[in-house]
Amino acid sequence: MTSGGSTFWTSGSVPLIEPEFLSSIIGAASDIALVLAASGTILSVVLNQSDDTFGNLRHWEGRPVTDFLTSESVVKFEEAHSAYLSGIEQTKPLELNHRDNAAWQYPVRYTFHRFGQEDAVLLLGRDLRPIAETQQQLVQAQIALEQGYEARREFDARFRVMLANVEDAVVFVSTQSGRIEDVNETAATLLGMRSDALIGATFAKLFSERAASELTESLLNATLSDDAQPVGVRVSRTRRDIEIKPVVFRAGGQRILMCRLYVDRKGGVSPDGTATSAASLFKATSDAVVFMDPKGAILSVNDAMLDLVGGAHLSDVVGKSLSDYLARGQIDLGVLLDNAERAGQMRSYATKMVNALGAKSAVEMSAVRLEDEGNVSVGLIVRDVNRMEPVRAIPASQGAQTLADPSRSVMDLVGSASLKEIVAETTDVVEKMCIETAVQLTRNNRVAAAEMLGLSRQSLYVKLRKYGLLHKGG
């Protein structure tokens, strides 16, 4: 277009260019120019005379341009050339990649121009090699980055394996935020939470009566001298006293504390070795043992309990309410806690426990209230009834001398009344016993008792009236 806005040069303003000058002007106006016949054969190649980086392309002349294009550019060129031949105006520049005997490749941006000869085309090209070089640098930088990610992934794998397999309980804490950056399973178990839940949590909040800034300060002070004592804390969830041995280091511009946690064994050793034996019993017994806080949140369990509820790790269970594993949930828990609180212990309570997969197992449990230096907790021993029944069946068949012989009682009954009457009477006795027990266990909470017995409140009232229990206190 001219400066006047016209696409035509007015008469007289057209520079009359002699043929011997035309090629150099075209070469200078573009970087490379190709004149193509309608067949796609290169009639002539014009290069910018001030740039010899293209080398000698004289051998291109007389050969199809597609011989000097990469495969994807051949398709692209053929489509654009066909459109040009059918008279469609090419408005978008065409980027093509040239190749020459596979020795080198370079991109050129071409525009199509008619110049008066029918179906022949003048392609004016801009050399894109400077951009391609920048592109190459970008790609190389990205490859270096990707290689770096690969190396980091490998390093990360080593770190994870080490953290998972060391016996030490390790926690990484940011001094700036006081939050946990990383933690291993051993530490998570000691802290009574899952490791994924711990990441991002404020470290100090895991301990009783420790402010974040004060704890961080204590830990930093403990790193300053070689003979500094470990920092003692009590874990809120498990009520265990532990010691923290910190090491401070800098990473990524921030100070990080690597804290190794140790169980404080000072208070746990008794002169007669009872504590050691108790710990061994807790670990090895086939009965499930649970310690929970006065609200029913689990503080610690043994392996037998983990088996019973289908937990893989201690951290799966610790911190949860025991009611999550009881078939009657809060009602069962209420009975256990109330009785432990009121009488100090509950000798026997039968219910069902639900494992992680929803399967129920009948259990018997006893509860006891524990108090240690002002810390109140409740201990439970849980016995899987299904495992006990075969054991109980043996003395029942062998030891008639110690237990009342049930067959003898039946002999006394049969003949005294009709079968229907005996069954009805038996049902009434069983019903009354169960209702009395439920009322007693729930301390006369009729709603909870009805729930425990699987009855509606109305049905419970009818039965209470029937058995004369309506006005009896729990």
Binding site for other proteins (CB under 8 A): 71-72, 75-76, 80, 92-95, 102, 107, 109, 128, 131-132, 134-136, 138-139, 142-143, 146-147, 149-150, 154, 157, 160-161, 164-165
**Cα dihedral sign, 288-291-294-297:** negative
Closer to other proteins by CB, 107 or 246: give it.
107
313 backbone dihedrals φ, ψ, rounded to 5°: -130, 155
DSSP-assigned letter for residue 179: B
What's CA 333's distance to the chain center, in Å?
A: 31
CB of 162 to other proteins, least distance (A): 10
CB of 13 to other proteins, least distance (A): 33
Closer to other proteins by CB, 106 or 461: give it.
106
**Amino acid identity, residue 241?**
D
Can you tell me the distance from the alpha carbon of 161 to that of 285, in angstroms, rounded to the nearest whole number?
A: 32
Task: For the beta carbon of residue 427, count every other beta carbon within 10 angstroms.
Answer: 10
CB of 197 to other proteins, least distance (A): 15
Question: Do the Cβ atoms of 303 and 278 come closer than 8 Å?
Answer: no
CB of 52 to other proteins, least distance (A): 24
Q: What angle do CA 324, 372, 271 make, to 5 degrees?
A: 120
**Amino acid identity, residue 19?**
P
**Cα separation values, 152 from 147, 149, 158, Å:** 9, 5, 10
CB of 236 to other proteins, least distance (A): 29
Closer to other proteins by CB, 9 or 104: give it.
104
**Using alpha carbons only, how large is the chain's radius of gyration in Å?**
44
- Which tokens belong to 443? 């301390």
CB of 108 to other proteins, least distance (A): 11
Closer to other proteins by CB, 109 or 245: give it.
109
Contacts 24+ apart (CB under 8 A), 371-376: 375/239, 376/293, 376/294
CB of 98 to other proteins, least distance (A): 13
Kind of pairing between the strands at 288-292 and 231-234: unpaired
Q: Exposed (0-12), middle (13-18) or buried (19+): which is 34, by Cβ within 10 Å?
A: buried
Closer to other proteins by CB, 159 or 249: give it.
159
Closer to other proteins by CB, 142 or 375: give it.
142
Closer to other proteins by CB, 157 or 251: give it.
157
**Cα dihedral sign, 105-110-115-119:** positive
- Which tokens belong to 68? 């000097």
Closer to other proteins by CB, 164 or 424: give it.
164
Closer to other proteins by CB, 72 or 421: give it.
72
Task: For the beta carbon of residue 474, count every other beta carbon within 10 angstroms.
Answer: 13
Closer to other proteins by CB, 38 or 131: give it.
131
CB of 122 to other proteins, least distance (A): 18
Buried b (16+ CB within 10 A) or exposed e, 112-133: beeeeeeeebbbbbebbbeeee
CB of 92 to other proteins, least distance (A): 4
CB of 114 to other proteins, least distance (A): 19
Buried b (16+ CB within 10 A) or exposed e, 300-316: bbbbbbbebbebeebbb
Closer to other proteins by CB, 123 or 322: give it.
123
